[in-house]
Structure formats: C-alpha cells, structure tokens
Amino acid sequence: MERKTFLDKKTRGTVLKDYNMTNSVPDKDYEQLTFLTASICKVPVAFLSVLDRNRVWIKSGYGINIEEIKSDTGFSQAVLNSGKDIYSINYSENPNFFDNSKKEFVKDYKFYTGLPIKNLQGYSIAVLNILDTKERSLEEFQIKALHALANQFELLFEFRKQNLKFQQVQKKLKHKYRELEKFTSLVSHDIKSPLANIISLTELLKEENKDKFDAETNQYLNYLVESSYSLRNYVDGILSFYRSDHILEKDYENVDLGQILKGIAQLYEVSEDIEINYPKTAMLHHVNKVALTQVFLNLISNGLKYNKKKIRKIDIRFKETENFYQFEVIDNGEGFLVEDSSKIFELFKTLETTDREGNPGSGIGLATVKKLVNNMGGDIKAESTPGIGSNFKFAIKRL
C-alpha cells in the first residue's frame, strides 16, 4: 500500500474523530504495550503520541508525565516527514533536533526512534516513540519487536473505532426501541379504552334484554364479548413482551428458588382443583430474580389455563450443573403434537387451541419466556404428548 503521510490538518482531524482518541482517559491495554516497548528496547522513556490538528496528545507513556504538546515540529512529526516505517536518530547526527525538545521533555536525550501507527486506509494516525539518554542503536530483535508492537497498537486503534461504531448503532437502536415501546404503549391504551366500553355495554345489553333477544342474537353478543376479551388479552401480551426488556435490566442477586415458587403457588392454590409441587430448598446465585419469576409465572399459568382435567397438576424440577441451572415445568394439560414443539415459541404463533374458558392464545406468552431465558444465557425446549401433558425444559447460565 502506498504510504500516506497524513500532513493535512483538516484530514487529520476528520480521521481522528472516528477513533475518539484525543482527551481520552488512560487505557490499560495501551499502557501495557507502552511498558513492553520500553522494556524490550531497554530505554527509560516510551510513549504513544496521537497527532491532532494543532497538538500532540500523549495517549500512553512510560517514564514521562506529559499529557499533550501544543505543537510538535520535533519527534513525532519527523517520523511522518521521513516517510519511513522506522525512524532513528542520535544526538551527534542533529543536536538541534534534540535541543529543541527540551522545552517539553526537560531531560537531555541522545537517542530517538519512532514508528508510525497507521489505520486500515494507510493514514498515519499516531507514532510509537522511544527515547534514551545515551547514543545507541537498536538490535535486530528489538526492531522486529517494535514493528510487532506497532501492529498491536494498530489493532487496538481499529478495535476502538469499531467499538465506537457499535456503541453508536446500539444507542440509535435503543432510541428507536424506546420510541416503538412508547408507540406500542399509547396504541395499546387507545385500544383498551374502547374495548372496555364495548365489553361493558355488550354485557349490559345482554343483561337488560335477556328475555327480549332470541337465542341467535344472544349467541352473537356472546361472540362479541369473547372476541373483545381475546383482543384485550392480545394487547396485554404485546405490552408484556416489550416490557420484558426492562425486566432484563434488573440487577442479578442470590435468590431462594423455593420462596419464589411458593409465592407463585399461593396465587393459584386457592382453587381446589390445582396441585403444584416444587423443590422447597434450592439457592441460586447471581441470577435475575425478576426475569426468572416471570418465566415461571408464564409457564405455570399456561400449564393451568390449557388444562381441562379434573385435577390440574404442575410439577417443577430443578438441578444444577457446572455451568447451568436447569429446570422442568411439567403439566398434565392438553399437550400438543411433536411437530409443534418449536412453533410455540414463535411470536404470534398459536396452535388453534383454546383455554379452559374457550379463549384462544395470543402467541406472545411463550415468545416472552424464550426471550427472557435466552437473555439469561440459556435456552428452552418443550416435549409433549397430546392428552397427557407437556414438559418445558429450560436452563439459565450460572455466573
């Protein structure tokens, strides 16, 4: 690649902006490479300098305590002007070159070597520098090491650039998501308000005219109420799916699994036809309690809703491996076909089944479960036999 000396100040500022390097805080990776540079070359001073429009920013340094040089017509600029991949000079070759640097570097240095750090387009965006107080020359292995270190600095620069781009994209996506979430919330609210009116007015109409309408009219009104309830549940499901991201932002903590499941079981065991069995003693370390609770709530709720047996049963099992916490939620509900075991986790996917009240599913609850489990570093799968029941197996990563 043809070398580009990178002397144009405007271009220099534009290119460096992509790296956000100047005025940045100390970075451990750069500091370690600078230390290695000084150690390998056996010099008292090594530093990485970034040439901004009107100054030189010292990104990392060993043996000096300088953050920036307002203007540089010396060391770093000489490397760029030379057009070489490595530039070395001793005091006896050009005393003025070193004497002019005393105002910034104070000590009497007699030896200097610099290597340009280039980006992928071939522009020199920084310089790796070493200084010694005596005249000398570098050994062949030291020169090879300097080139290797310069290459590592180049990789760090490019990683920083790509990471900044990623952060910008991530920020934009979060902003778009928040807008979508706000839009969803507003639309859902606007839908639920008239739905509530439709439901209440339809039921009032039925009650006040139950002896006036014929069977067919009453059936139509029942359909209207059922459809309204289904739509309301669908809207609630959408809100729950989008709000699950807020759950994932919760802090991780140590939790008592038995206490979580006890609290959920108490919500349902008020009905005499429900039986929920779960492990009473199990401690989980560093997990998202809110997200895990939501997963169990959804799975247990589904196991009870889509269950028309006389006694509805839920059995929860738990074990831990070296890397995962593993769970099973087993019900004796209606079950489903093997070929549908992967479809049920797709958003808005339903199996044309109805719950105990005759209402169809929204295809959102299990999609939310999968989203939560995946974001906790695990996965979920389902096994089922029609008429016998289902077993939802999922795991979350141990941290």
pLDDT tops 70 at residue 395: yes
Nearest Cα to Cα of residue 279 among 330, 218, 230, 242: 330
* Six token digits for residue 17: 């902006």
**Cα–Cα distance for residue pair 246/109, rounded to 1 Å:** 58
Cβ–Cβ under 8 Å, residues 304 and 363: no
**290 and 148 within one domain:** no
Nearest Cα to Cα of residue 49 among 122, 109, 105: 105
User: What CATH number does residue 270 fall under?
Assistant: 3.30.565.10
**Cα–Cα distance for residue pair 115/147, rounded to 1 Å:** 8
Is this model's pTM higher than 0.75 or not?
A: no
Domain end, chosen from 143, 158, 173, is at 158
The DSSP symbol for 7 reads -
Tell me whether residue 2 is in a domain. Answer: no
Instruction: List, for residues 346-361, the tens digit of each pLDDT value.
Output: 877 776 676 676 666 6
pLDDT tops 90 at residue 149: yes
Tell me whether residue 174 is in a domain. Answer: no
Instruction: List, for residues 200-258, the tens digit of each pLDDT value.
Output: 888 888 788 877 888 888 787 877 777 776 666 666 666 666 566 666 666 788 989 99
Among the ranges given (59-73, 182-196, 294-308), the one the predictor scored with the smallest mean pLDDT: 182-196
Nearest Cα to Cα of residue 129 among 101, 164, 155, 94: 101
**129 and 22 within one domain:** yes
User: What CATH number does residue 113 fall under?
Assistant: 3.30.450.40
> Residues 339-350: what's their mean pLDDT?
79
pLDDT tops 60 at residue 263: yes
Range of the domain at 114: 9-158
Among the ranges given (107-121, 142-156, 220-234), the one the predictor scored with the smallest mean pLDDT: 220-234
Tell me whether residue 77 is in a domain. Answer: yes
**Cα–Cα distance for residue pair 172/175, rounded to 1 Å:** 5
Q: In total, how many domains does the chain have? A: 2
The DSSP symbol for 252 reads P
Domain end, chosen from 139, 158, 177, is at 158
Domain end, chosen from 158, 179, 210, is at 158
Q: Which of 72-81, 102-111, 371-380 has the highest mean pLDDT?
A: 371-380
pLDDT tops 50 at residue 294: yes
Q: Which residue has the higher pLDDT, 86 or 216?
A: 86
pLDDT tops 90 at residue 166: no
**278 and 147 within one domain:** no
Tell me whether residue 261 is in a domain. Answer: yes
Q: Which residues pair with residue 275 across a beta bridge? A: 313
**Cα–Cα distance for residue pair 2/12, rounded to 1 Å:** 17
> Residue written as tokens 């009453």?
218
Q: Which residue has the higher pLDDT, 73 or 194?
A: 194
pLDDT tops 50 at residue 46: yes
